[in-house]
Amino acid sequence: MKKTPPTGINYPFPHRAVRFHIWFAAAILGLLLAPSARANVYATNIRLNGGTNDVLLAAATNVNISYILNEPATAGVTINITSGATLIQTITLTNTSPGTLRGTNLVVWDGTNSNGTSVGAGAYTISITAAADGFNDWTRTSDDSDAVN
C-alpha cells in the first residue's frame, strides 16, 4: 500500500529524495569528522642495544639507544638514564644534531654518569623527551588518506 502525505502539506522533495539527502549529509559529516592521530613530537620503537627491555650491563660499556621520531625535534631531545629512582646521566641533544631528526635516530651512551665516571654493572632504564617549536597544542601527525602514514 502506497503511503501518501497528508493533504494540505506541500513537500518540496519526494520522500525518497529526502531520505537520500539525509543519508548523504550524514555520510559527508562522518567523513569530515573521521578520527586522525594528533600529538606533538614523540619517540617510538625505542631500543637499547637492539632490545626492548631495560639494559643490563655487566660492565661499563657503550649502549646504543635507537628510536624513531614522528617529527623533527626542533626544540631538542632529552634522554634520561636511571638506575631505579636515581638519575645517572642526562643526554641533551639540540636541534639538527643527530638524535633530533624525523625518522630513525641512534644515540650512544658511553656507560658513564654525569661526572664522567663509569657506572659499572647494573640495570638501567631510559626515558626520551622530544620537543618541537611551533607546537602550542596537539597537532595532526597522520594523514588518513595516505596509506603509509
In this prediction, residue 140 has a pLDDT band, given cuts at 50, 70 and 90, of low
Residue 123 located in a structural domain: yes
CA of 93: how far to CAs of 8, 40, 51, 127, 129, in Å?
76, 17, 22, 14, 10
Task: Inform me whether the pLDDT recorded for 115 exceeds 70.
Answer: yes
What pLDDT digit, counting tens, does each position of 65-112 carry?
999 998 899 999 999 999 999 999 999 999 888 999 999 999 999 999
3-state secondary structure of 43: strand
pLDDT on residue 42: 87
pLDDT on residue 143: 64
Average pLDDT over residues 109-120: 91
The pTM of this model reads: 0.64
pLDDT on residue 30: 53
CA atoms within 13 A on the CB side of 20: 5
- Identify any residues that bridge with 116 across adjacent strands, giving them in sequence order: none
Residue 73 located in a structural domain: yes
Q: Which residue segment(s) compose the domain that 51 sits in?
A: 40-133
Query: What CATH number is given to the structural domain containing 56?
Result: 2.60.40.4070
Residue 117 located in a structural domain: yes
Residue 100 located in a structural domain: yes
Evaluate whether 65 touches 48 at the Cβ level (below 8 Å).
yes
Residue 115 located in a structural domain: yes
For a pLDDT cut of 70, what percent of the chain falls above it? 64
